Structure 1
Amino acid sequence: MEKSKIYIIGLGPGSEEYILPEAKKYLNSVEVLVGFKRAMDSINFVDNKKVVLNSILDLKELCQSGKYGSIGIIASGDPCYYGITNYVKNNICSDVNVIPGLSSFQYLSCKLALPWQNAYVGSMHGREENFIDMVRQYKESFWLVDDKYTPETLCKMLHENHIKGRAYVGENLSYEDEVITKATIEEVAKGQYSCLSVLVIERD
């Protein structure tokens, strides 16, 4: 059975305008596109065969079936930053082609005109890091969040640890309903934000 050629296609922050031309080329040229519903909803403009995944096991089964000559696995943001690339390489196929996507960190830093070459980049999305320690160590830090560690929850933790500074929250980045909040850590701690946000801390 001939193996399928696997492409992992980065979609960037979400809207079509921020999908790279190279990614669009592969979105239209592979035999089938696969991904979870949220990511698939963002490529309604693509006229190609699509399979919505219900679980990660569905992805493994489809990729190993040999049914398609080429498979495009779509991934939001940067596919190589806590994305699906690591899982695919370790569990499905080590020989993959990754098409880059603009990360939400890149997008938000530009919207804020905030250089981030010296910033710490972390994720509390489905995982835990030494959040307080990292914020203390770095003047600027960028964070992916989730429904447990929301922007307000993380800022409450900072406030309780007497850490002051600015906090920026990017919600629905690149979409028409995009909201970017610029406030103090204490103010964000009192707010309510989407669990699919990006949080930036600029410590005093």
Structure 2
Amino acid sequence: MAFYKFSVTVDCRMDKQNKIIVVGIGPGNPDYIVPKGLKTIQGAKYLVGGKRALADFAQAGQDTCAITADIPGVMAFIRDRLPKADVVAMVSGDPGYYSLLDALRREFAPEQIEVIPGISSMQYAFAKIALPWHDATLASFHGRVPQPEAIEYKPGKILGMLTDSQHNSHTIPQILLEHGWPADARLYICSRLSYPDEAIYTCTMQDAAAKPLVTHGIIIAHE
């Protein structure tokens, strides 16, 4: 009786799992998005982002969802489309710094998420004033109040802060004075960073109220 050997090749690779690709689009001006991020956005079938980001980057034929206060609705859009293809989510600045990435990690496994970093507005602000920020303390007044130890004065301290309409360039200096900052400490008040009407006002802590009001921006304080 003759015996024959058969060779069978089995491809054990699993099907590619679709990803949520979170792209940092930089401080605002499209010139500051990294090339890989732009290529990923342009090739997206499903695209999530703020209204301004969608206006800047979305293309005809893409299925889009605007990020609004309805975060559960955004998550539902992503969850519904993820089995079909990758979903690209655009966030301002860098995804690792106060972005939708936190909410995505609460809803999806980290293995389902890929991040393409971007230039944050904080990074951009320090670059514009040519000040290294490796020793800086970063804090956010955007929709929150930092812990006192984050903003209290210490000699040589460099403090970078996100602002909002309530905690702005007129109110934050007063808070810092109450936390021990000298009246003559230097402030950089940054508005509309990366846009043609960008403005950076330099003043002392005590003179900040005389400068134009800046709400959603960056303030950097140091001696």
Pick closer, same or farther for the CA change 1:42–1:180 going to 2, 3 Å: farther
8 Å Cα contact 1:3-1:66 kept in structure 2: no
8 Å Cα contact 1:5-1:70 kept in structure 2: yes
8 Å Cα contact 1:10-1:79 kept in structure 2: yes
Higher-Rg member (1/2)? 2
Pick closer, same or farther for the CA change 1:19–1:31 going to 2, 3 Å: same
Q: What is the SS of the residue equivalent to 1:58?
A: helix
Superposition TM-score, scaled by structure 2 size? 0.81
Pick closer, same or farther for the CA change 1:12–1:43 going to 2, 3 Å: same
Does 1:124 find its partner at 2:144? no
Deviation at 1:190, TM superposition (A): 3.8
Pick closer, same or farther for the CA change 1:72–1:36 going to 2, 3 Å: same
Taking the TM superposition and a 5 Å limit, the aligned residue runs for 1:2-81 are 4-43=18-57, 49=62, 50-54=64-68, 55-66=70-81, 68-81=84-97
Q: Which amino acid aligns with 1:153?
A: T
For residue 91 of structure 1, the aligned residue among 75, 83, 107 is 107
Q: Which amino acid aligns with 1:120?
A: T
Q: How many residues align?
A: 201
8 Å Cα contact 1:60-1:92 kept in structure 2: no
8 Å Cα contact 2:151-2:179 kept in structure 1: no
Between the aligned residues of both structures, percent identity stands at 28
Unaligned runs of 5+ in 2: 1-15
Does 1:193 find its partner at 2:222? no
Structure 1 segments of 4+ aligned residues over 6 angstroms from their partners: none
Does 1:154 find its partner at 2:175? no
Instruction: Please give the per-residue CA displacement for 1:156-189, whole angstroms capped at 9, x wherever unaligned.
Output: 2223455220010111100001011111111113
Instruction: Please give the per-residue CA displacement for 1:95-144, whole angstroms capped at 9, x wherever unaligned.
Output: 20001000111111111011111110111111221357534136111011
Instruction: Please give the per-residue CA displacement for 1:79-110, whole angstroms capped at 9, x wherever unaligned.
Output: 11111111101123432000100011111111
